[in-house]
Amino acid sequence: MRPKQTTLRTLLRLFLVVSVALASGQVFARTENTPIVIAHRGASGYLPEHTLEAKALAYGMKADYIEQDLVLSKDDHLIVMHDIYLDNITDVASKFPQRARKDGHFYTIDFTLKELKQLRVTGPFVPALGRNAPKYTGRFPLWKSRFELATFAEELELIQGLNQSLGYDTGIYPEIKKPYFHRAEGKDISRAVLETLKRYGYTSAQQKVFLQSFDAEELQRINDELMPELNIDLPLVQLIAENDWGEKLTQKNDTWEKYDYRWMRTAEGLKKIAGYAEGVGPWFPMLIEKASTGSAFTPNTLTASAQALGLKVHPYTFRADPQQVPGSIGSFEKLLALFVKEVKVDGVFTDQPDKAREYIYKAAPASKTLTND
Ligand code: CA
């Protein structure tokens, strides 16, 4: 009696899932090995990055995870924004013209939350070319409608609220920005992020959360000291940069030097990362090389080496804008095909979660599940 009912219920549930899938034009379902879609700064290809509106849109597009870059305000609020400067996404230069530092930048950490909330937010522009020069042409027009900066708490409440009202189980993917900078300013951003995560119920891998940073020593501190102290255990992701980006600076005597990331892409380095992290986030070109003949790209060994150590591989950033797809690859779909079917990544950071999701959910059952059972 009991098993039969269960079977019937399972069939009914399956029927419902298939009906919904058919209604939305998608007859595929996620499997354990389907790469995850991480909405990079929200649905940032369509709305100003990191605004609550861009996050709500990413949610509606059924991203598996939504990303939050985090910096601290003067009064210790975590603000969801990508840079430690306000220069290229707000009207700070006209609202607070006297508040730039000597280097010409307006630092988030010099402003209170009350001041930050007065700023008007737009998509990224190129300050050197003026406030009307978009970084990405063809996206949501600059300075239209009305957007503001959001706190981490506001965004977590948005996503958790939607998880309740709309019913998806969408994860979060916060990034601690430049811990070395915050420390030089007298602030412990990692502790602030972890305390906020704990307050909102993110305490273990049971919740859908990855915590990322470009700072290896800080991730080790989080793993070895901060998380045990707070009695939480979150999956960490080591982001990998090119040295010349200056993602992390280290102080040597009186000068700041760019951190050397090269060790992370060696066998020994990956082994070390696997000791404190659950995954790596490389720049996607780090995972491929030109084929010896012709112009095609083939995977290098980095993805497979990382995965052999149990590390997930979540490269960034897949952008569908025509001018953002490498010309030699040809189209966004071909770019995704290379990374999903050949490189076999575990997830992608993307500015267009709808397009990535559409491609991956169509392609994945035929690729990952067959190769990985
Ligand atoms: Ca990020």
- Give the HSE-up count for residue 164: Cα atoms under 13 Å, Cβ half-sphere: 5
Say if residues 124 and 134 touch (Cβ distance below 8 Å).
yes
pLDDT recorded at residue 28: 54
**What is the set of active-site residues?**
40, 82
Asked whether residue 312 is assigned to any structural domain, the reply reads: yes
Q: What is the mean pLDDT of residues 279-303?
A: 91
Percent of the chain whose pLDDT exceeds 70 = 89
Cα 168 to averaged position of ligand 1 atoms, centre (Å): 23
Asked whether residue 93 is assigned to any structural domain, the reply reads: no
User: What predicted TM-score, i.e. pTM, was given to this entire model?
Assistant: 0.90
Cα 309 to averaged position of ligand 1 atoms, centre (Å): 24
Q: How far is CA 20 from CA 14, 15, 16, 31, 334, in A?
A: 10, 9, 6, 17, 28
pLDDT recorded at residue 13: 54
Say if residues 259 and 248 touch (Cβ distance below 8 Å).
yes
Q: Does residue 11 have a pLDDT over 70? A: no
Query: pLDDT tier at 296 (50, 70, 90 boundaries)?
Result: confident
Query: pLDDT tier at 309 (50, 70, 90 boundaries)?
Result: very high
Asked whether residue 189 is assigned to any structural domain, the reply reads: yes
Query: pLDDT tier at 291 (50, 70, 90 boundaries)?
Result: confident
pLDDT recorded at residue 295: 74
Asked whether residue 95 is assigned to any structural domain, the reply reads: no
Asked whether residue 50 is assigned to any structural domain, the reply reads: yes
Of 17-31, 39-53, 89-103, 310-324, the poorest mean pLDDT is in 17-31
Which CATH number goes with the domain that contains 344? 3.20.20.190
Cα 176 to averaged position of ligand 1 atoms, centre (Å): 8
Angle at 219 between CA 196 and CA 276, to 5 degrees: 115
Distance CA 58, CA 40 (A): 9
Cα 281 to averaged position of ligand 1 atoms, centre (Å): 10
pLDDT recorded at residue 159: 98
Cα 213 to averaged position of ligand 1 atoms, centre (Å): 8
In this predicted model, what pLDDT tens digit does every residue of 328-337 receive, in sequence order? Answer: 898 999 999 9
Domain count, the chain: 1
Q: Does residue 26 have a pLDDT over 60? A: no
pLDDT recorded at residue 316: 98
Angle at 277 between CA 301 and CA 64, to 5 degrees: 85
Distance CA 271, CA 183 (A): 28
Asked whether residue 184 is assigned to any structural domain, the reply reads: yes
Domain of 306 in residue numbering reads as 6-84+149-370
Q: What are phi and psi of 69, to 5 degrees?
A: -85, 140
pLDDT recorded at residue 29: 63
Asked whether residue 116 is assigned to any structural domain, the reply reads: no
* Helix, strand, coil % over all residues of the chain, rounded to 5: 40, 15, 40
